[in-house]
Structure formats: structure tokens, C-alpha cells
């Protein structure tokens, strides 16, 4: 009888010990699991941060096209811009606006910004009131009649901007910071290379929609710079910030 009771006590003791050991193990591994989970969460958030490109958006750049509209290359450009959802700035010549009003309407309808590039592509250095009237104001009036909005920006031909133009017309002169000399090289890949090498935040790119090579270059420039996180904007978004 005594032996059986001893055996029973031993058995109970064994069960209790086993239970305590099991509980201890469970608590230990539970904490370990928690640590592991925390570690995983930290690792995930760190890698998520690393996966992001260095700069997401924030970089703005503007494409500008002078001397248009052109009967063939401007519509070609408009089509490619629409496909890419990109807005640009056109500095139109009054004499070309007169010839191709439908293209000017299309530019405005597509939501691009229209600026003035004088009526006959004349230099405005030391321009007197009569010249400003016949070259700048007249082009503004014509553009407003067709596009519905009076241009606020002017790109003076040959980059000749003096304070007189701005104070006399109340317009804002827009020059450029990236000039790939597209009119001179007429080589799309050279134009792309030059722009890519000089692209910068708030840059203003000078092109002419007078050449097929410039239009083709513009499409590649858009595709490449968008990959680098650039957002294409019209010049007002760069100058009036
Ligand atoms: Ni020009």
C-alpha cells in the first residue's frame, strides 16, 4: 500500500513538473515569436523605404516650343503629348497663328500654355512703343481672339528681353536654361543627349516644333525624364511658384 501511494505521489509530481516545464517553454517561445515578429516588421518598413526611388516627384521641368505653329510638326507633337498626358508651352508667332488658326485652337483645347513670340519674329532690343504695339500687342490680340485667352508670357526672339517690354506690356519674359540647339543640329539623338545631360529641377528646355527631329526628340526626352521622376509642367508653374 505504502509503495503504491509513493508511486502515485511520484506520478503527480512528474505530471506537475512536466506541466511547469511545458508552460515555461511556451512562455519562452511565445516571447521569442514576438521578438521575431517585431524584427520582421522593422525589416519590412526599412526595405519599403529603400525600395522607393531617391526622389519621388518634386522635380519639375518645362518643355517650350518656339516659332510655331507648323502645319505638319505641331499636330504631330500635339498627338504625342496627348498620348503621354504632358502639357507644354508654345511661344507662337503672330504670322503663323494667322495662317493656322485651327492648330492654335487645338493647342488651347488640349490645355497647353500659349505665349507670344512677336508677330514677325523681330528682335525687341530697345523696342519703341510703335514696335511693341505692332509686334507684341497685335500678336496678343490675335491669339486671344482664337485661343480665348490673352498671353501672359513672352519669349522675345533672340532672347532679347529688356525691362521695357515687361513694363510696357505687363507681360513676363521667359528665356530658357537648357538649349540643345535643335534648329542647328537637326539630329534627334544629339538633342536628347544634350537635354538629358543638362536636365535639372525647374529647368526650361528650348525647342522648335519646326523640325520632325525636334518633335521626335521631345517624345524621347519626356519618356526618359519621367523615368527619372521629373514632372512636365508649363512655364507658369516654374516662374510663378
Ligand atoms: Ni524664335
Tally the residues of the chain: 241
Distance 41 CA to ligand 1 centre (A): 58
Whether 72 and 168 share a structural domain: yes
Distance 82 CA to ligand 1 centre (A): 24
Helix (H) or strand (E) holding 37: helix 2-51
Query: Residue 169: pLDDT above 60?
Result: yes
Whether 78 and 2 share a structural domain: no
Whether 46 and 81 share a structural domain: no
3-state SS assignment for residue 219: helix
Amino acid 10: pLDDT:
62
Query: Residue 21: pLDDT above 70?
Result: no
- Mean pLDDT taken over the chain: 85
Exposure of 197 in the CB half-sphere (CA atoms within 13 A): 8
Domain count, the chain: 2
**Residue positions annotated with a catalytic role:** 66, 208
Mean pLDDT of 221-236: 98
Distance 173 CA to ligand 1 centre (A): 14
Query: Residue 60: pLDDT above 90?
Result: yes
* DSSP code at position 170: -
Whether 226 and 199 share a structural domain: yes
Query: Residue 19: pLDDT above 90?
Result: no
Amino acid 145: pLDDT:
98
> C-alpha grid cell for residue 209?
516644333
Distance 58 CA to ligand 1 centre (A): 30
Whether 109 and 180 share a structural domain: yes
Whether 161 and 182 share a structural domain: yes
Q: Which of residues 83 and 28 earns the better pLDDT score? A: 83
229-232: long-range contacts at Cβ-Cβ below 8 A with a sequence spacing of 24 or more?
229/53, 229/55, 229/56, 229/57, 229/58, 229/59, 230/59, 230/60, 230/61, 230/199, 231/57, 231/59, 231/60, 231/61, 232/60, 232/61, 232/62, 232/63, 232/86, 232/87, 232/88
Q: Closest Cα partner for 190 from 227, 167, 210, 216? A: 216
Confidence of residue 58 (pLDDT cuts 50, 70, 90): confident
Confidence (pTM): 0.77
Domain that holds residue 26: 1-52
- Rounded Cα distance, 233 and 63, in Å: 8
Whether 181 and 90 share a structural domain: yes
Distance 237 CA to ligand 1 centre (A): 22
Mean pLDDT of 133-146: 98
Whether 146 and 127 share a structural domain: yes
Amino acid at each position: 500500500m505504502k509503495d503504491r501511494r509513493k508511486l502515485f505521489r511520484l506520478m503527480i509530481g512528474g505530471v506537475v513538473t512536466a506541466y511547469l516545464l511545458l508552460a515555461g517553454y511556451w512562455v519562452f517561445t511565445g516571447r521569442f515569436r514576438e521578438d521575431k515578429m517585431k524584427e520582421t516588421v522593422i525589416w519590412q518598413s526599412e526595405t519599403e523605404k529603400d525600395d522607393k526611388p531617391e526622389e519621388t516627384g518634386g522635380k519639375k521641368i518645362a518643355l517650350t516650343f518656339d516659332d510655331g505653329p507648323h502645319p505638319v510638326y505641331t499636330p504631330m507633337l500635339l498627338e504625342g503629348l496627348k498620348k503621354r498626358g504632358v502639357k507644354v508651352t508654345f511661344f507662337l508667332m503672330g504670322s503663323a497663328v494667322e495662317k493656322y488658326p485651327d492648330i492654335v485652337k487645338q493647342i488651347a483645347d488640349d490645355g497647353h500654355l500659349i505665349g507670344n513670340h512677336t508677330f514677325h519674329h523681330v528682335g525687341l532690343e530697345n523696342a519703341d512703343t510703335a514696335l511693341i504695339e505692332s509686334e507684341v500687342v497685335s500678336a496678343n490680340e490675335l491669339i486671344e481672339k482664337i485661343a480665348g485667352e490673352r498671353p501672359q508670357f513672352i519669349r522675345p526672339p533672340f532672347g532679347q528681353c529688356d525691362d521695357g517690354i515687361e513694363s510696357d506690356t505687363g507681360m513676363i519674359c521667359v528665356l530658357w536654361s537648357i538649349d540643345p540647339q535643335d534648329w542647328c543640329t537637326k539630329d534627334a539623338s544629339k538633342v536628347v543627349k544634350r537635354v538629358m545631360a543638362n536636365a535639372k529641377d525647374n529647368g526650361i528646355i528650348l525647342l522648335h516644333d519646326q523640325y520632325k527631329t525636334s518633335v521626335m526628340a521631345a517624345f524621347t526626352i519626356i519618356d526618359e525624364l519621367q523615368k527619372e521622376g521629373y514632372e512636365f509642367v508649363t512655364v507658369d508653374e516654374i516662374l510663378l511658384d
